[in-house]
Structure 1
Amino acid sequence: MTEVIDYHSLFIGGDWVKPESDKTITVVSASTEEVIGTVPEASEKDVDRAVDAARAAFDDPKGWSTWPVSQRAEAMRRLASALESRSAEIVHRVSSQNGMPLIIGQQLEAVFPAVLLRYYADLIENASFEESRPGLFGGNTLVRREPIGVVGAIVPWNFPQALAAFKLAPALAAGCTVVIKPSPETVLDSFILAEAIAESGIPHGVVNIVPGGREIGAFLVAHSKVDKIAFTGSTAAGRSIAEVCGRLLRPVTLELGGKSAAIILDDADLAGSLENLFGACLLNNGQACYLGTRVLAPRSRYDEIVDVFTGFVGALKVGDPLDPTTQVGPLVSARQRERVEGYIAKGKNDGGRVTTGGGRPKDRDKGWFVEPTVFADVDNSTTIAQEEIFGPVLSVIPYGDLDDAIRIANDVDYGLGGSVWTADADRGLDVARRVHTGTFGINAYLPDPTAPFGGIKASGLGRELGPEGLAAYQLTKSVYLDK
């Protein structure tokens, strides 16, 4: 990115409009620490305008929510194509902003949004939104699934386009209208999304984008004309949002933090699983909520497994996220690096042994880099084993028998992801059934568009993806018929 990208308008009501204030968000490269762009920072008045536009678009008797399913689906496919035509620039902006390695962005940020839009377009064309049920007291009941209304979608910085699509695609499919609030760390890519929406022919006001920080997010959550909130982010922020939505009796989907376990069984072939282990434990510089950052290893193979992870992690290429050979880039911000370094220091103080990493790369004098780090001799009760670090830090924790491994895996406040690594698929499935979590992988981990994704305990409420993700944007209405 050789030039600073400046935007001066907001995408509200299907038009590029002048913001209500002169405040801006300055975007800084995670790898160079240089300014790479500025965008307007939405004010509360801008959010009012966006919600009003979404409300009007939803309430329009001939608007998006009333369009035939085939017509909505076709518009969603046009949006998918518009995003695909811009995928290279989207990935370039995302990687420049948050440090995501280009190779990861090309697999996820460039692909997932279009895949989800087409998946939900196909799903609604083949689904029935009305069902007739015979009643026990005579007559019948017509059960209808209707769009929930105006959705406030709050998107994090780690996978800004993919996680926006987690919300946008099913909401559009259901017939809802949306106000998206991107994270201030990753706003430049959201303007490309706006351009694609404008090109797609989706009606004015159906999708609106208001960049801003926590205060604007809180204002959107509590807005009187919003019908549902969909949020991905930290557990602390999710609890606050849940409190507001609970008081307002407002539906909410929360995809929050994680501290998942990657359980290595005694028969696992680690040498043949390194690529999948990277995706399950260290993807996106460790900045993914579902990652298995607690590696549970049987005592009988503990030293061997520590050595495998030490060699594997220590050999990862750290560097410029725009270099296609980079495997680990910088963290998203100086504040995030300080947070991760604080956990590394805590891990050392609590008796953990660093086998690789633990500091900053010596060949990088710019950027918010942290060396990929492995801790050995970690007890599951320690801070680095219990709290979400959100960086490239793994803890290898020993266990005795399989029951002990399950106990350790479940002994955290979170329950979002997890995995098991074994040569025996039946043993793996038995482990999957016993770990208390919303999602789980056997010898790999990657969320699929067709499968519900979400957590339990401190990892959230509700599900995204799959038919369940569509249902989260629908209301159920019963119509009682006498005959």
Structure 2
Amino acid sequence: MREYKELYIGGSWAAPSHDRFVDVVSPHSQEVVGTAPEGTPDDVDRAVAAARHAFDHGPWPTMDPKERLAAVQRIADAYNARQAELSELISTEMGAPLWFSQVGQVGATSMALAAFLNFGAQYPWEERRTGFFGQDVVVRREPAGVAGMITPWNVPHFTTISKLIPALLAGCTVVLKPSEEVPLSVLALAEIIDEAGLPEGVVSIIPAGRDTGEHLVRHPGVDKISFTGSPTAGKRIASLCGQDLRRVTLELGAKSAAIILDDADLAMTIERLPLASLLNSGQACIAQTRILASRQRYDEVVDAVTTMVNGLPVGDPLDAANYIGPMVSQRQQQRVDGYITLGQEEGARLVTGGNGMPDGLDRGWYVRPTVFADVDNRMRIAQEEIFGPVLAVIPYDDEADAIRIANDSAYGLGGSVWTSDVEHGVDVARKIRTGTLGINQYLLDFNSPFGGYKSSGFGREFGPEGIEPYIEYKSIALPLG
């Protein structure tokens, strides 16, 4: 049982502005595993005031970038020292299978920290170039200001680090509003940041609900918003930021496709496909839940995918042998179960899974891993993000048809191409309108920009491009001659 009684406001632990605390319920046992305060607009006001003062009058924005880099290194060191504890905490709180918490939650966060430290050490914060008229021009990259950040529950540390660290390296001050679903893990992250000893006011972490998040987006003291979450919320945030010309980046939903070409090694494909399609029990924006197979090999692919899904152990997320855990909440369980019902009503063929609890489980917010075949790409189960362990196998006529189907989506975040000819796979990938793809695998690469086309949002995270959303460019032209 982990209990927090305070929020992290302006670089210090402080009592919340109210006496409301939320019970954190395990999605596996349905028992209370912790308590934490839920932030309010009043708490956000205190945090923004501290961040505004720290940016306008404090040392952080004008500090030598090497000093900010050293502070981030302290965060990384403290984080790495607690990896085992943090992995177990995330699995307990939101149900991620322990293997994924170790590799894709905490492990990936550690690797992302290392990548940003590398970029920060090499980043050209100020450079001189020759101007059009022959004079020297100083081009500076300066911090964008107070950055408000809203992060989701599915990968709480990873999505936080993707925003927080480049903002800190740039010299921004930060007010972070994580999801109220995961207060324990994000307040544990606040402990680590506190240990790093950043100046007063530089970071605040206030887990809270949507109303408090909208208050942060609207706050006149905030210069920049970064959001990861649903397209519906993203549209609302973009609208609010547009009214005030507030800078904004959005990382939203997806319905990514894995294209299995006829020359693919099917055994290798099926071995690697779970990591592309069912990571985090399907609760991942990059999950490739549309499996595209040619009519020539369609039955073979459906059988192989079905055998793969049936072989994935489902159960207690703290049991390292289990590949699939519960959904984060009863609401999410009901949402996914509703899509399984919808798929059958739309006429898709249920091959395995379906409604109800997985065999051997009598409690927890679980969903049976499900495969639909004979799916038309116009069906809602092929167009809408389900965010659960539900795969749709869609037939295509030829390669051009596969590309058409992959692109026939409101989204464009991830994807993959499976083939024995890697260079040809790259040619196919070039024709897919999505921000990231893999050939015979899907791995989010921390040295490269991550983000989406179309309704998957705009802006990029990771790589040196991940620092760009948190800077402003300034050009200083020196005298002619």
Please give the TM-score of this superposition, normalised by the length of structure 2.
0.98
Within the alignment, does 1:479 sit opposite 2:481 as a pair? no
Equivalent-residue separation in structure 1 for 2:271 and 2:317 (angstroms): 18
Quick one: distance in 2 between partners of 1:203 and 1:292?
42
1:141 corresponds in structure 2 to 137
Superposed CA offset, 1:335-363 (max 9, x none): 11111111111100111111111132131
- Picking from 167, 170, 193, the partner of 2:189 is 193
Secondary structure at 2:414 match in 1: coil
- Deviation, structure 1 residue 449: 1.0
CA contact (8 A) 2:407 2:433 kept: yes
| Aligned match of 1:118 | 114
Aligned to 1:231, what secondary structure does the other structure show?
strand
- Residue 67 of structure 1 corresponds to 63
Q: Which residue of 2 aligns with 1:51?
A: 48
Q: Distance in 2 between matches of 1:258 and 1:109?
A: 19
- Give SS of 1:372's match: strand
SS at structure 2 position matched to 1:339 = helix
Equivalent pair of 1:72/1:121 in contact (CA under 8 Å): no
Contact 1:355 1:375 (C-alpha < 8 Å) held by counterparts: yes
Give me the CA root mean square deviation.
1.1
The reply on whether 1:22 has 2:19 as its aligned counterpart is yes
SS of aligned partner of 2:259? strand
- Give CA deviations for 1:85-108 in whole Å, capped at 9, x if unaligned: 122221112111211000001012
CA contact (8 A) 1:290 1:417 kept: yes
Q: Which of 223, 229, 239 matches 1:243?
A: 239
- C-alpha contact 1:76 1:118 (8 A) present in aligned 2: no
CA drift at 1:315: 1.0
SS in 2 for 1:131: strand
SS in structure 1 of the partner of residue 296 of structure 2 = helix
Could you say if the C-alpha distance between residues 296 and 342 of structure 1 is closer, same or farther in structure 2, counting changes exceeding 3 Å? same
CA distance in 2, matches of 1:270, 1:153: 41
Cα distance in structure 1, aligned partners of 2:121 and 2:50: 27
Q: Give 2:200's aligned residue.
A: 204
Contact kept? 1:80, 1:115, Cα under 8 Å = no
Would the aligned equivalents of 1:151 and 1:226 in 2 still touch at CA under 8 Å?
A: yes
Does structure 1 conserve the Cα–Cα contact (< 8 Å) formed by 2:123 and 2:464? no
Counterpart selection for 2:290 from 277, 288, 294: 294
For residues 103 and 66 of structure 2, the distance between their equivalents in structure 1, rounded to whole angstroms, comes to 29
Q: 1:150 aligns with which of 146, 149, 153?
A: 146
Give the whole-Å Cα distance in 2 for the aligned partners of 1:72 and 1:114: 18
Structure 2 residue 77 is the aligned partner of structure 1 residue 78 = no
- Whether contact under 8 Å (1:283, 1:291) holds in the other structure is yes
Structure 1 residue aligned with 2:276, among 267, 270, 280?
280
Q: Is the 8 A contact 1:112 1:165 kept in 2?
A: no
Partner AA of 1:409 in structure 2: A
Partner of 1:106: 102
1:452 paired residue number: 449
Distance 1:85 1:134 in 2: 46
Whether the 8 Å CA contact 1:222–1:245 is kept in 2: the answer is yes
- Which residue of 1 is the match for residue 411 of structure 2? 414
Asked whether the equivalents of residues 90 and 109 of structure 1 are also in contact (C-alpha less than 8 Å), the reply is no
Q: Contact 1:138–1:482 (CA<8 Å) still a contact in 2? A: no
Q: Is 1:40 matched with 2:32? A: no
- The offset of 1:43, in angstroms, is 1.4
Which of 362, 375, 380 aligns to 1:378? It is: 375
| Conserved? CA contact 1:31–1:368, under 8 Å | yes
Q: Is the 8 A contact 2:116 2:462 kept in 1?
A: no
User: What's the CA shift for 1:44?
Assistant: 1.1
1:346 aligns with 2:342: yes
| Larger CA deviation: 433-442 vs 106-115 | 106-115
SS at match of 1:349: helix
Q: Does the Cα contact within 8 Å between 2:270 and 2:304 map onto a contact in 1?
A: no
Deviation of residue 473 (structure 1)? 0.7
Aligned-partner Cα distance in 2 for 1:325–1:275: 16
Preserved contact between residue 417 and residue 425 of structure 2 (Cα < 8 Å) = yes
Separation in structure 2 between the aligned mates of residue 208 and residue 86 of structure 1, nearest angstrom: 21
Bigger CA drift: 430-439 or 116-125? 116-125
Whether the 8 Å CA contact 1:86–1:192 is kept in 2: the answer is no
Which structure 1 residue ranges, 5 or more long, are not aligned? none
Partner of 2:263: 267
CA distance in 2, matches of 1:412, 1:306: 22
For 1:343 and 1:127, locate their aligned partners in 2 and report how far apart those are by CA, in whole Å.
Answer: 45
Structure 1 match to 2:321: 325
Alignment partner of 2:61: what SS?
helix
CA distance in 2 between counterparts of 1:275 and 1:207 reads: 42
Q: What's the CA shift string for 1:309-341, capped at 9, x where partnerless? A: 000001110000000111000001111111111
How far the C-alpha of 1:132 sits from its partner, in A, is 2.0
For 1:256 and 1:305, how far apart are their aligned partners in 2? 30
Count of residue correspondences = 479
Residue of 248, 253, 258 corresponding to 2:254: 258
- 2:401 alignment partner in structure 1: 404
Structure 1 segments, 4+ long, off by >4 Å, are: none
Cα pair 2:119 2:463 within 8 Å, conserved: no
Q: Is the 8 A contact 2:137 2:477 kept in 1?
A: yes
8 Å Cα contact 2:146-2:174 kept in structure 1: yes
Return the offset for 1:125. Answer: 1.9
> Of residues 423, 445, 467 in structure 2, which corresponds to 1:470?
467
Q: Which amino acid aligns with 1:394?
A: L
Instruction: State the distance in 2 between where 1:222 and 1:476 align.
Output: 24
Letter in 2 for 1:353: R
Report deviation, 1:274: 2.8
TM-score, normalised relative to structure 1 = 0.97
Tell me whether 1:368 sits opposite 2:365 in the alignment.
Answer: yes
Partner of 2:106, secondary structure, is coil
Listed as ranges, the gaps of 5+ residues in structure 2 are: none
Residue pairs, 1:430-445, within 5 angstroms: 430-445=427-442
d(CA) in 1 for partners of 2:333 and 2:73? Answer: 39
The CA distance in 2 between the partners of 1:122 and 1:412, in whole Å, is 36
8 Å contact from structure 1 (residues 73, 122) kept in 2: no
Is residue 95 from structure 1 mapped to residue 91 from structure 2 by the alignment?
yes
> Does the Cα contact within 8 Å between 2:257 and 2:406 map onto a contact in 1?
yes
- Deviation track 1:144-185 (CA, whole Å, cap 9, x = no partner) reads 110111111111000001110010111111111111111111
Q: What are the superposed Cα offsets for residues 378-415 of structure 1, whole Å, 9 maximum, x if unpaired?
A: 10011101111000000000001100000000001000
- Could you tell me which residue of structure 1 aligns to residue 333 of structure 2? 337
